[in-house]
């Protein structure tokens, strides 16, 4: 498989066989750029006048995207609106060519990307089935063989000889999906259009895609229905502003997307309640090397550095720390007096700095810190910074969920093989404590 060409889209909507030695999909350093024109000319004369003076901005809908999908994988592409999901599917379907990089598909590709895509509104349902089947590479005999099954799945028997422009949006997407799945593609691309159908059709469509997946076919799904994503797919690619921010297990990808969405929807605000006895002047979150902790690996050693200033004479006070997920879920709380550490006595204007060191046994996601100062008993709250710092945990292979338990796997009996290279490896022996050791 060569990547010599700087810009290529190679594949086929209809193909005789699949080469099992090569991946189903390869995207290598793909960038897709659109031009956003600042002013749109109103007529031909103005167009000609502004031909050399056109003002525009280049916008990268996708930027430096690289990934490989093997045969039989079910992959979800998720992310906020405008992140490049639909553009990515259009590149895979060869609707758009890449501006930079290479797109390769290996096998027959069927796509359902837009409502009514490929349909001619003035043709009947019967004629559109034949037209779409031909576009997807079926012969006349193959279309005739599957025609009744397509009609039954779509449920449009009573409208078969009616122009498609008279169909409701739900019936239109039913017919499009029925044609796409009945041609038995090697790679199926599905955008959010299934959300248009009714509940009964959505259930049948999901069941059909499960059968498609269980048959060892490849499909790529774009959807905001995260429950369907977790049910249908075993891998998730999370896009944000045209870049891949995660590529791994679907459960971890969905959780990361949920937390990013919650974090972005609630912009950081330094919410400080009116301080009474002690004020919190500054909060820093740093890594072990002293650098600011903005994005870290799972189980990173972090330090929250909290600078206090007494407003009145204080005998002793307690500093608290709360760690929450991006969606607000409470994960951990600590107060210094719980560990037998109080701050004080402090004179008015006197400053103190408290460091709380912890290991962030967390998996991929976005997290927030809140700090507080209370009296020694914790009954009176003297100062609160509700959104003192935020940090993200980068994805790491080996686990999914909320916490990093630093688990490891070993085969203690029977053969073992290292996945990925196909080579047998010797079994690690379980360690036994010797007598007197």
- CA-angle at 419, arms to 413 and 422, nearest 5°: 100
Does 435 score more than 60 pLDDT? no
- The pLDDT tens digits for 19-47 are 888 899 999 999 998 877 666 666 666 66
Q: Please tell me which of 199-208, 277-286, 325-334 the model is most confident about, judged by mean pLDDT.
A: 277-286
CA-nearest of 211, 185, 181, 210 to 193 is 181
pLDDT score for 429: 39
pLDDT score for 266: 47
- pTM confidence score: 0.61
Least confident of 91-100, 281-290, 407-416: 407-416
CATH T-level fold of 278-393? Coagulation Factor XIII; Chain A, domain 1 (2.70.50)
Residues of the chain with CATH 3.40.50.300: 7-42+49-263
Which DSSP string corresponds to 191-252? Answer: -GGGGGS-HHHHHHHHHHHHHHHHTT-EEEEE-S-HHHHHHH-SEEEEEETTEEEEEEEHHH
Question: Using CA atoms, how far apart are residues 110 and 60, in angstroms rounded to an integer?
Answer: 26
- Which residue reads 């292979």 in tokens? 397
CATH T-level fold of 7-42+49-263? Rossmann fold (3.40.50)
Q: What is the dihedral of CA 159, 161, 164, 166, to 10 degrees?
A: -60
Confidence of residue 298 (pLDDT cuts 50, 70, 90): confident
Tokens, residue 52: 């050399």
pLDDT score for 396: 64
Question: Using CA atoms, how far apart are residues 209 and 231, in angstroms rounded to an integer?
Answer: 11
- Average pLDDT taken over every residue of the chain: 79
**Cis-peptide into 345, omega within 30 deg:** yes
- The pLDDT tens digits for 363-393 are 777 888 989 999 888 888 888 888 888 888 8
Least confident of 69-73, 224-228, 302-306, 395-399: 395-399
Question: Using CA atoms, how far apart are residues 287 and 76, in angstroms rounded to an integer?
Answer: 33
pLDDT score for 115: 53
Does 434 score more than 60 pLDDT? no
Residues of the chain with CATH 2.70.50.60: 278-393
Cβ distance 252 to 364 under 8 Å?
yes
pLDDT score for 47: 63
Crossing angle of helices 169-182/140-154, nearest 10°? 140
- The pLDDT tens digits for 141-168 are 888 888 888 888 888 888 888 888 888 8
pLDDT above 70: percentage of residues in the chain:
79
């Amino acid at each position: 498989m060569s990547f010599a060409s700087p810009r290529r889209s190679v594949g086929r909507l209809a193909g005789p066989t699949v080469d099992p030695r090569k991946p189903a999909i390869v995207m290598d350093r793909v960038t897709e750029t659109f031009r956003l024109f600042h002013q749109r000319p109103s007529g031909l004369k103005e167009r000609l006048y502004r031909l050399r003076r056109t003002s525009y901005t280049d916008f990268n809908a996708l930027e430096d995207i690289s990934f490989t999908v093997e045969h039989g994988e079910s992959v979800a592409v998720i992310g906020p609106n405008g992140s490049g999901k639909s553009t990515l599917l259009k590149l895979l379907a060869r609707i758009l060519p890449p501006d930079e990089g290479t797109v390769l598909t290996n096998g027959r590709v069927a796509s359902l990307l837009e409502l009514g895509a490929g349909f001619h509104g003035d043709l009947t349902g019967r004629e559109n089935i034949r037209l779409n089947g031909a576009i997807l590479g079926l012969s006349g005999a193959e279309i005739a063989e599957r025609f009744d099954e397509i009609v039954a799945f779509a449920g449009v028997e009573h409208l078969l000889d009616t122009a498609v422009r008279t169909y409701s949006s739900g019936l239109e997407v039913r017919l499009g999906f029925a044609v796409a799945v009945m041609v038995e593609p090697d790679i199926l691309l599905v955008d959010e259009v299934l959300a248009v159908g009714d509940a009964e059709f959505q259930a049948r469509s999901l069941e059909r895609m499960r059968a498609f997946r269980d048959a060892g076919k490849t499909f790529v799904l774009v959807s905001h229905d995260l429950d369907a994503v977790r049910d249908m797919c075993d891998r998730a690619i999370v896009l944000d502003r045209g870049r891949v921010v995660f590529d791994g297990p679907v459960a971890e990808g969905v959780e990361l997307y949920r937390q990013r969405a919650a974090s972005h929807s609630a912009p950081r605000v330094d919410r400080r309640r009116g301080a009474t006895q002690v004020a919190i002047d500054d909060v820093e979150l740093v890594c072990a090397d002293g650098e600011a902790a903005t994005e870290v690996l799972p189980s990173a050693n972090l330090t929250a550095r909290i600078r206090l200033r007494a407003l009145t004479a204080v005998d002793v006070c307690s500093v608290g720390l709360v760690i929450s997920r991006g969606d607000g879920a409470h994960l951990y709380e600590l107060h210094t007096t719980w560990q037998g550490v109080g701050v004080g006595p402090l004179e008015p204007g006197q400053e103190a700095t408290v460091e709380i060191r912890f290991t962030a046994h967390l998996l991929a996601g976005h997290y927030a810190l809140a700090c507080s100062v209370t009296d020694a008993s914790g009954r009176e709250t003297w100062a609160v910074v509700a959104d003192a710092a935020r940090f993200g945990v980068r994805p790491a292979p080996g686990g999914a969920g909320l916490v990093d338990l630093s688990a490891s796997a070993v085969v203690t009996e029977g053969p073992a093989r290292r996945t990925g290279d196909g080579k047998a490896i010797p079994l690690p022996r379980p360690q036994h404590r010797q007598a007197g050791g």
